[in-house]
Each structure stands twice: as C-alpha cells, then as structure tokens.
Structure 1
Amino acid sequence: MALTNAGSEAEPVEQSSHPEVEQHSTKVLMLGALGVVYGDIGTSPIYAFREALHASSGGNVADRGDILGVLSLIIWSLTITVTVKYIMFVLRADNRGEGGVLSLMALARGSFPTRSAIILAIGIVGASLFFGDAVITPAISVLSAVEGMNVVTPAFQPYVVPLTLVILAILFAVQRFGTGGVGLVFGPVTAVWFLAIGLSGLNHIIADPEILWAVSPHYIVAFLINSPDVAFVTVGAVFLAVTGAEALYADLGHFGRKPIVLAWLAIVFPCLLLNYAGQGAFVLANGGVVGHPFFEMNGGWTLIPMVVLATAATVIASQAVISGAFSLTRQAVQLNMLPRLQILHTSERQSGQIYMPRVNLLLALVVMMLVVGFGESSRLASAYGISVTGNMLVTTVLLFVIMTRIWKWNLWPAIALTALFMFIDIGFFASNIVKVFEGGWASLAVAFAIITAMWTWVRGSRYLFDKTRRNEIPLDFLAGNLLKKKPQLVS
C-alpha cells in the first residue's frame, strides 16, 4: 500500500450494499467526526470572540459598531472559509479517500509533472505549517478551558498549568486506542457540547433579536472604514474562529467526506452561529463590557457544568490535529519525504484510522513545553494563527492546480473562485504574520524543523538513488557480455 503522486496508499473500504447498514455506518461515523474532526473549530467560541473584541476595542469595553462588525466578520469567515472553501470544494479533492495538504500535493504533482519540484516544495511547506499548528492547538485549547475555572474562583489560578499538563498527558496516552475508539467516546460528549453552546447562545438571541442584523456584511465594511487602525489586528483575532478547518481536511481519511459534511451542516455550523450571536447579544446587553462572555453568559447553576463541559470539549478539540498529524506523517513516509516510522492500523473497516507512537510522543513533549513556556492562552493566541493561515494559503494554491488540471474547469471561473479564497487567506495571513515576535515564532520554529527534516530526507534519498544508479551495470552491457562469452554451466 503506497501513496503515489496520483493516489493514496489504499483503496477506500467497500461499503455495504444494504441501505440500513450504510445509514447506520454513516450515523456512527458522523458521531465520531463530531468528536475528532470538529472538536477544534467547535471550541473556538471560548476565546475567539473575546480576543477579537479586545483587539477591536483596544480595551475592555466595545461599542455597538465594534460588536456587530466583529460578529459579522466571524459569521462570514465561517461561511466562506469553512462552508464554501473546505466543505464544498477542498473535501472533493480527495486522493482515493485521503485528505490533507500532502494528498493534495500528490494529486497536483501527478497532473503537473513538468513542475513537480515546485509543487513538491509547496507541499512540504504546507505540511510543515500543519505540524506547527498541531502543537499549538492542544496547548491553547486545553489551557483556555482550564482557565475557565478562574471565572468560578480566582484562587484556582496557580493550578491552571499543572492541571493542563495532567489533562494533556491523559489525552496523548489514550491515542493508542485508535481514532475510531476515541471518536466513539468523544463523539457523544462533543454532541452535547454543540447542543449546549447552541442553546446558550439562542437564549441570549431571544433576549435581543437585533443581534441577528450582524449577518449583513455591510457591518464588516462599516467596521473596516470606521476603525482602520485596529481592523488589521482584529482580523487576525477573528481568524481564531475558523482554526480547525485545515484539520477537517486532514482527517478526511479517518471518516470519509459524507459524515464530515453532514455533521457540519446539520450540527456544527448552526450551533457555532447561535453561540457567537448569543455572545454578541450578551456583550451588548452588558454595556459593551467584554470580560469573558462565553462563560459569563452562562449564569447561575449552568456556569460550573459549562466549565466542566468546556474542559472536556477542549481536550477533545486537540484530537483533530493529532489524528491529522498521524495521517500527514504517514503520507509523508509513503511519498518518501520522511524516514519510515511505525504505523499501527486501529480499525478493520477504515484504513485511514492509524496510530503512530513516535509521532504521538514527540507531539506530547512539544505541546507540554509550549504550555509551560507560555503559561496563558492569550499568549498562545498570538502564536496560533501564522501556521494555520499559511497552511490554508498553500491549500488554495494547490486547489487551483486541481481545478484547472484535474477537474478541467475553465480558467476564468477557477481564477475567480481562487481569487476570493486567496483574498481572505492573504488577509488572515498578513494580520497574523505581525505576531511573529509575540509568540508566532514558536509555530514557525516547529515548521522550519519539519521543512529541514523533509528536505534533507528528500535530497539525501535522491543522492543515494543517483549514486546507486551510477554503480549499476547497464542491462544492455551485461546482455552483450553474456552473448560474447556464455556462462559456464555446471550439471
């Protein structure tokens, strides 16, 4: 089973011909996808809206224009980047059921062999940036949830980092049970999480339905015009709402396209919109005081259960990039971009569900070092966006090649759609690249280490192959010598 330039390492498992069995399988995979694929983007409401309002207001109080502008930015970012780009287009660019930037690179490289070196370099950069994201996501997700205990009592502050390290150790320890097993355990918890945040937001929307006007994009234009000095920084914070979309594609091989699409459209997307709108309504109702709206809008007896549920959900959120890192590493090994590593298949039905012990250990060590080094989720937020936006930018470039070379689109529709995605991706990337010295260097350092390892292995393997070929005896020369002097036969 080898991933080639035109395909992945294995054919997808044949589905049952019985519709009842297939429907049951889809429901199970949807539940697993909730727990694995959407954990990351599903926990962004904990910190994304808060960070964006802090950036837009420059303090702890935001006016109505800032609130509606930020909310509108989040709504349309989720719609265009996730629903349109990834759900409608990128997920269709599967490589025999496998997803991820390396799978996309393999497709593009096979269709454009004359520039395969350029496509290879782009793929290596994209994959390396994903690994940079894979070490930041578990750290910021779990740390931000545990910090929610500070809302209950400030006395909990000294225990935030130690408890985060314990939770992360448990998370990486259970990876050996496989994506399917983890997903069946995490799925129901994540389903409850989405329903809880959706209902929490709906409660405040009912109290102030005018917040729904934020769906109009003219609030984005007004915000960018009225606050050009802070809009650039705010866009970088808004991007936190769509982090996880890149892991969505990387996890394609674990669950397949249909369960991932159905889970997004039926549960994840509606609940996210309800919660973000509810946070906006809550902040408006409290005179624009930002605070920590996600937890504060759950008053009374619901606060502590929401903190506990958020902690569980953010632990699960890390699963998306962890399983995505396994898939991406396997693809890199099969494309001879990394040395061979132990790969354990954990499912009899889904070939994409794997576990890689060494990758798991390395991720765990780097993630824990980041938690200890940064200490707070707000500091990690500055390190978060660069690698993710870079990965999305690479995906857009490769998707254009797929549109024109494999899907055989007309050039102008492909250019128009790519320009829309590129405009958004470049905007997000530019607003995050300024955070290099605030913490962004961490994810870039991880990405640079992966680029060095991949490029060294690729070049070294090529040199070794060339040297071996030079030492080989040409077949024609050998055949000619055998004709001139027949070998002695011993009876």
Structure 2
Amino acid sequence: MTDREHSTKLRALTMGALGVVYGDIGTSPLYTLRECLTQGGGFDLSPDIILGVLSLIFWALIITVTVKYVIFVMRADNQGEGGILALTALALRGMRPGHRKTTAVMAIGIMGAALFYGDSLITPAISVLSAVEGLKVIAPAFEDYVIPITLVILVGLFVLQSFGTEKVGKLFGPVMLVWFVTLGVLGAWQIIRYPDVLGAIWPGHAVEMLFEHGWKGYLLLGAVVLAVTGAEALYADMGHFGRKPIRLAWFALVLPSLLLCYFGQGALLLHEPGAIENPFYHLAPDWAQVPLLILATAATVIAGQAVISGAYSVTLQAMHLRYLPRMEVRHTSEHEKGQIYMPQLNWLLLTGVLLLVLTFQTSSNLAAAYGIAVTGTMVATTLLAYKVARSLGRWKLWQAGLALIVFLSIDAAFFFSNLIKVEEGGWFPLAVGALVFLLMATWRRGREVVRQRLAEDALPLDSLLERLKGGSIQRVPGTAVFLTGNPRGLPPGLLHSLKHYKVLHQRVVLLTVDIQDVPHIPDSQRFELKPLSAGFFRLIMHFGFKDEPDIPNALEKKKIPGLPFEPMETTYFVSRETLIRSHRRAGMPRWQEPTFIFLSKLSTSASEYFCIPPNRVVELGMQLEI
C-alpha cells in the first residue's frame, strides 16, 4: 500500500470512528455540567464552584479517558479486538478451568458485560431525551410534547435496525464531524468573551472542590462521571477501526471540542447564572437554536445507534463464548461481518428504553441511573486489564500495581459516589446487571452439565466399528455429518439415527465445533481431521468468537481430499435435547434448573446457528436429565 493509499484509508477509518465510537461521549455536554451543578440540591453558582466542577470534568477526561483508555487499556487487544468480553478471554488465557482464580476472573468479566446492557438501555433514552428537551428552551409551550417526540424518535431508531447501518452509517461520520466542530465553535466563542474560565485547568480547583464541600463534594463525582460515559466504546470498537484511527480522532478533534464546549458553558454561567436551566442550548444565539436542536437530535440518534450496535456485538460474542443461548442473527451487509441485526434483542431493548423514558420522564432523573452502569464496567475493565498486563503484557508488579491503584481509586470513587443514588434510579442498571449476570452464569453452568451428561451416556466408537466390520449394518451412498459437542465417543444423534433408520451413510463425519477465546481463526487453522476406519472421520472445526460459524460454507470451501461435501449428497444430523429436571442427581442448584430449561427453550436450533439450510438437516429429539 502506498503512502497516499494508507493516508486515505486512515482518514476514512478516522471518520468512521467519529460516527460510531464517539457518539455517546460526544453527546455528554448536553446534560453533564447542568447535572453537576444542580444535583443533590445544587451548588451556588459562585466562580469557585464553577471552576471546581470544570476542573473535575477536565481531569476526568484526561485521566480516565485519555490516559486509562486511549493510552493504557487499548494496548490490551485480543488480536486487534477490544471490549469487556475480549478482555475477559485474554485474562482467562492460560488459567486452569474450575480454579477459584479462574472463576473470579470470569465473574468480573460477566458482571462488566452484564452492566453494559444497562448502559445500552439508558444511553438511547437519556441522549435523545436530553436533545429533545431543548424544546423547553426554544419554545416553552411545547414542553408537553417532549416525551411523545422522544418516544417516536426512539421507536423509529429501533425499527430501522432491521435495514442495517451500511448506507446510513456513511452519514454518521460527517454528521458527528459537524457536531464536534459546532461544540468547539460554541464553546470557543464564550471562552473568548470570558477567558478567565481557563483557570479551571489548574488541578487545585478540583482538589479544593472535593475537600471543602465534604460529603456533598464527593457525591458530585456521581455527576462528573457523565462526562466520561462512552469511554468503553473506544475500547469495544477497536476491532472495527483499529487503535490508530480512534486515537487520532480523540486527540485531533473529540477531546479539544469537548473541552471547549464544557469550558464555554462554564464561561457562560460565570456571567449568566440563569442559563443553568440548560447551559448547552444557551450557548447558541436565538437564531441558531432550532438548527442546534436538529443537529443535537441527529447526534443523539447516532449515539443510540452506536450503543445498540455494541449490544448486538457483545451478545454475539457472549453466544459464541457460551455465556448466552443462541439467538437469531441476521447479517445486514454483504461486505462487513460486524453489521448484524438481532430481532429478539432489538425488541427487548426497545421495550426497556421506552419504559425508561415513561418512568423517569426527564434526562435529569435518568442521569442518576446512568453512572452505575458505566462505572461498574470501568471497574471490571481496570481489574481485567491489570490481570492481562501481569500475565500477557509481562509488566513488572510495581508497574501494573501502580496503574491499578491509580485507575481503580478513581473508578471506585466514581462507582461508590453513584451507588448512593440507588433509590433515585441507580437501582435500574443494578437490577439489569444482576439479571443478565444470573442468566449468563446459569447458561454457562447449564451447558457444562449438559456436556457432562452427554459424555456419560456416550458409547465408545470401537464397539460400533467392530459391528461394521461384520457387515451387519447396511451402508447407503452420501455423507452424514453428526454434530457433537464431545470430541470423543459416539454422538447420541448417531445412535438414535441408527436405531430408527437401521442404515449408515457411506461416509460418516463426527463434527465438533470449537469456539476459541480469540476473535478470529485463519482458514489454514480451521480444520483438524482424523480419518478413522470404516468410512468414519473425526473432524474438529475451530472458529474465533467473532467469526461466523457457517459450517456448510467452510466445508465446501475446504475441499478435503477423499471427503467430498457435495450439497445434494450431504445430510446434517443435529440433536435437540428436551431437558427435564432430575431428582436423582443434581448437576446445578435447584433454583437454577428452571431458568436454564427456560433459556434452552428460547435458544434457536443448532442448525440455524451454524447456518445449515433446513432442507439438509435431520433433527433428532432426545430427553436429558440435568
């Protein structure tokens, strides 16, 4: 690639990162400073208070986002992929299954991912609602229409998900470019008028704010954290754009624009305290407020789109890593694997978002619920990053320990300052996180029990091969592929097929799909084939947790010598277990069994998950006690 081509590609990726990665954090100026100065009864709008709050926001963006995420955490990539589950897979690498430390690391990762779903519900609600609330400033008579307009926009956003984001996504980058330039220009104008606000850069103002106001100053951190919401997206979307474009967009445009906007709002409040009603919209002159409202609404829709896409991505990873049951996945782009649509999850998210708006009514009320989801995931990321730095990054203990102390101290301060607001709305992300954590842990444990039960009931392959030598079993032309989770022994589906049909195909493939803890497996390492006797083959197919496990496509592309996979001559046999509770042997706690059985009924079939056409599948039912 020439330097010019490389430069063009870098610009395109940087523009894409603007549209997808920075939508959440980029819309935080709509409500952050207002919440900082009005929460908990509010502060008097003296210069010391305003400068102190601005200083806290400034250093939160520098330490938490810039140093922790952009510089430190983004170095911990799993073959270029980021995000809480990719980091969990990295942290678990080399650890012993079933060990206490392994269980603890897995629990931290699952809890971080679980809290992400709370964030996925709150972000679209608070972002769109805060933008539409600009109507109160522009035309107070329309205040009663804020909720209905917000609901209509949100419904439209989720309905459009089924069409994919390939075409609309091309508009995201330019819109967000205009948005960040607008933030910078509006803020810079106020700073030029009142440059004394730049004194907030001095960290002494932040320290003084915390120590002079005691408990009230500490609770203020619960609102300051709103300035760094969306920091996880920088890391989670690293696989889509790469580390360099995300960093370039942050340092060149996003960080300067955010700081200019926050300091501009502070400068305005220093001289017009009455603008505290909505300092963001008061930055603009009267003639520009309607265009600003339209632009802000577009930016918040993009922020909502980004977090919804993130929820799809995290769910797909969780399914492949066996933390969640299989759900329907539709690919909305012929070119980009990451652009997917999950109808079941989409409508669940829409229901939750609409209920949030109707329950909390204002962005100020939602802000109390927002912080816990974000800071909980940040704490989990810090702990996992420490583990990866020590085990894979080969950091010395004092280096990793120092980073852990600094980042965890700040994350914990943000988290516990938000924990105080449980009654005001913080209960919501905690409840969502606890529910998702329970479902993930139950599904993971349940699938282990199922695999153990199937392995216990499996018959040795040698006994069947002996019978085949005697010619007592008739063979028919073609290839039969039996899917099995156990790479040893005979799959139950084969025994049921033989029992009912009394015949076996000329070629029998015992296929095990192995989803590994890396994002992608190259085609050269996809297959592990072991020929057996009597036309039997043991085949293991390896996929990464971000690969699409399309079995027929992979087999037809491979062209294994002596083992043809002609579409019209290949039949796939899949077992579908009907789970029943066992009173003789308990593989999991009694209270978890009904939940796991319910999740199993919701899970899509293995044939659909592995992209096997319905006309080439035979599903064999069986009962299994757990």
TM-score, normalised to structure 2's length?
Answer: 0.72
Q: What residue in structure 1 maps to residue 428 of structure 2? A: 442
Contact 1:254 1:350 in 2 (8 A): no
Please state how far the C-alpha of 1:28 moved relative to its aligned partner.
2.0
Q: How far does the alpha carbon of each residue in 1:383-413 deviate from its partner, in whole angstroms, 9 at most, with x for none?
A: 1111110000000000001100011011101
Matches within 5 A, 1:287-326: 287=273, 290-326=276-312
Which shows bigger deviation, 316-325 or 213-222?
Answer: 316-325
Residue identity opposite 2:71 in structure 1: M
1:349, distance to aligned residue in structure 2 (A): 5.0
For residues 174-200 of structure 1, the C-alpha deviation after alignment (integer angstroms, 9 at most, x for no partner) is: 223434433312221111110001000
Query: Would the aligned equivalents of 1:347 and 1:354 in 2 still touch at CA under 8 Å?
Result: yes
Is 1:243 paired with 2:243? no
8 Å contact kept, 1:63–1:288: no
Deviation at 1:347, TM superposition (A): 4.3
How many Å separate the matches in 2 of 1:482 and 1:184? 58
What is the alpha-carbon distance in structure 2 between the residues aligned to residue 269 and residue 367 of structure 1?
29
Stretch deviating more after TM superposition (212-221 or 89-98): 89-98
Name 1:233's counterpart in structure 2.
219
166-175 vs 370-379, which moves further: 166-175
- Structure 1 residues 443 and 486: alpha-carbon distance in aligned structure 2, compared to 1, 3 A threshold: closer
Moved more, 258-267 or 74-83: 258-267
AA partner of residue 62 (structure 2): T
CA positional deviation for 1:340 = 1.3
- Which amino acid is the alignment partner of residue 488 of structure 1? G
1:80 match: 63
Pair 470,233 (structure 1): closer, same or farther in 2 beyond 3 Å: same
Name the Cα RMSD after superposition: 2.0
- Deviation, structure 1 residue 123: 1.1
Higher relative contact order (CA 8 A, sep 6+): 1
Change in CA separation of 1:416 and 1:350 when aligned onto 2, cut-off 3 Å: farther
Cross-structure match for 2:93: 110
Structure 2 match to 1:29: 13
Contact 1:99–1:249 (CA under 8 A) maintained in structure 2: yes
Q: Which residue does 2:172 correspond to in 1? A: 186
- Indicate if the aligned counterparts of 2:128 and 2:300 stay in contact, CA closer than 8 A: yes
1:279 has 2:251 as partner = no
Q: Secondary structure of 1:439's match? A: helix
SS of residue paired to 1:96 = coil
In 2, Cα distance between equivalents of 1:291 and 1:54: 9
Residue 168 of structure 2 corresponds to residue 168 of structure 1: no
Residue 48 of structure 2 corresponds to which residue in structure 1? 65
Say if 2:268 and 2:275, in contact at 8 Å, map to a contact too: no
Measure how far apart 1:373 and its partner are. 1.3
Task: Name the CA distance, whole Å, in 1 between partners of 2:383 and 2:30.
Answer: 31
Secondary structure (helix, strand or coil) at the match of 1:111 reads coil
Q: Residue 401 of structure 2 aligns with which residue?
A: 415
Q: Which stretch shows the higher mean deviation, 190-199 or 111-120?
A: 111-120
Q: What TM-score do the two structures reach when normalised by structure 1? A: 0.91
Offset from partner CA, 1:224-281 (integer Å, 9 cap, x none): 1221131122110011000011122222233222222111111111100100111111
Q: Which residue of 1 aligns with 2:376?
A: 390
1:91 aligns with 2:74: yes
Secondary structure of 2:164's counterpart equals: helix
CA contact (8 A) 1:104 1:398 kept: yes
Contact map agreement 1:140 1:381 (CA 8 A) in 2: yes
Distance 2:248 2:465 in 1: 65
- Does the 8 Å CA contact 1:36/1:179 hold for their aligned counterparts? no
Q: Where does structure 1 differ by over 6 angstroms across 4 or more consecutive aligned residues?
A: none
Deviates more, 1:191-200 or 1:21-30: 21-30
Letter in 1 for 2:450: L
- Indicate how the Cα distance of structure 1 residues 243 and 320 shifts in structure 2: closer, same or farther if over 3 A, else same: same
Q: Secondary structure at the match of 1:364?
A: helix
Alpha-carbon spacing, 1:230–1:397, altered in 2? closer, same or farther (3 Å): same
Larger displacement relative to structure 2 (421-430 or 25-34): 25-34
* Residues 112-136 of structure 1: per-residue CA shift (max 9 Å, x gap): 3353222211111110000011101
How far residue 55 of structure 1 moved from its aligned partner, in angstroms, is: 3.2
- CA contact under 8 A between 1:400 and 1:418: conserved in structure 2? yes
CA offsets per residue over residues 272-326 of structure 1, 9 Å max, x none?
A: 0100111111100125762211111212212222122111111111122111111
CA distance in 1, matches of 2:263, 2:23: 20
CA change 1:316–1:409 in 2 (3 A) is same
Q: Deviation per CA, 1:420-454: give whole Å up to 9, x if none.
A: 11011000001000111111111122212211221
- Aligned residue pairs, count: 470
Aligned-partner Cα distance in 2 for 1:327–1:156? 38
1:488 matches 2:481: no
Cα 1:255–1:180, aligned 2, differ >3 Å: closer, same or farther? farther
Counterpart CA distance in 1 for 2:381 and 2:94 is: 16
| Counterpart residue number, 2:25 | 41
Q: 1:179 to 1:94 in 2, by over 3 A?
A: farther
Matched with 2:4 is: 20
Give 1:130's match in structure 2, choosing from 106, 109, 116: 116
1:432 to 2:413 alignment:
no
Map of 2:344 onto structure 1: 358
Residue number in structure 1 paired with 2:501: none
Please identify, of 106-115 and 36-45, the stretch whose mean Cα deviation from structure 2 is larger: 106-115
Partners of 2:406 and 2:274 in 1: how far apart?
A: 33
Paired AA for residue 436 in structure 1? V
2:84 counterpart residue number:
101
1:73-114: CA deviation from partner (whole Å, max 9, x where unpaired): 000100111111111122222222322111100011113335
Q: 1:319 to 1:159 in 2, by over 3 A?
A: same
State the alpha-carbon separation in 2 of the partners of residues 407 and 375 from structure 1.
Answer: 46
2:145 to 126, 140, 159: 159
Contact 1:254 1:351 in 2 (8 A): no
SS of match in other structure, 1:290? helix
Distance 1:157 1:425 in 2: 36
- Return closer, same or farther for 1:182/1:423 CA change in 2, 3 Å cut-off: farther
Q: More deviation in 174-183 or 188-197?
A: 174-183
Contact 2:275 2:282 in 1 (8 A): no
Q: Which one-letter code corresponds to 1:202 in the other structure?
A: A
Q: For residue 334 of structure 1, what is the aligned residue in structure 2?
A: 320
- Report percent identity of matched pairs: 51
Larger Rg: 2
User: 2:43–2:49: 8 Å Cα contact kept in structure 1?
Assistant: no
**1 or 2, which has the higher strand percentage?**
2
